[in-house]
Amino acid sequence: MKRRLLTAVACLASATAVMVPVATADPSHAKNSAQISAMCSGHPLMVVVNGNGSFTPAHVVGSTSVFIPTALNLTFTFTPTGGSPMPETDTSSKAAPIAPTITCTIPLQTLFSSPEGMATIQGTVTGFFTPR
């Protein structure tokens, strides 16, 4: 009986140790994350986006708030080292956007720079913040 109790306690302690890092994860250090500055209703804002989907939520830096995009008008440009810029514009939108929404401006900024080239982003994103 004591052995089962000790095994259960050890399993619970291990599970708790595994869950704590997940609960306190920092989105800015995730693989493929990008930190982006935005201007929303005249207020500067830093967000972190993890993932490559068109409507990937943006985590507001220094907050528990998340920006959920509903419409995009963004231009991504990759310029290979010694090559010509290759812009790509995304003007996606979701059906029936949730009201009220806010439009944020993304000023021209570098997403990354490497020996292979440089990538930039600029445009607007419409969406809403959580919690509401």
Q: Which residue ranges make up each domain of the chain?
A: 26-130
Share of the chain above pLDDT 70, in %: 73
Percent of the chain's residues with pLDDT above 90? 62
Stretch 97-103: mean pLDDT: 83
Please check the confidence at residue 2 and state whether its pLDDT lies above 80. no
User: How far from 63 is each of 26, 59, 68, 73, 87, CA to CA, in Å?
Assistant: 11, 8, 14, 25, 32
The SS3 of residue 14 is helix
Assess whether pLDDT exceeds 50 at residue 30.
Answer: yes
Give the 3-state DSSP-derived string for the chain, with helices as H, strands as E and coil as C. CHHHHHHHHHHHHHHHHHHHHHHCCCHHHCCCEEEEEEEECCEEEEEEEECCCCCCCEEECCCCCEEEEEEEEEEEEEEECCCCCEEEEECCECCCCCCCCEEEEEEEEEEEEECCEEEEEEEEEEEEEECC
Cα 9 off chain centre by? 37
Q: Indicate the pTM of the whole model.
A: 0.73
Q: Among 99, 121, 97, which Cα is nearest to 109's?
A: 121
Token output for 113 = 């720079």
64 compared with 1, residue with greater pLDDT: 64
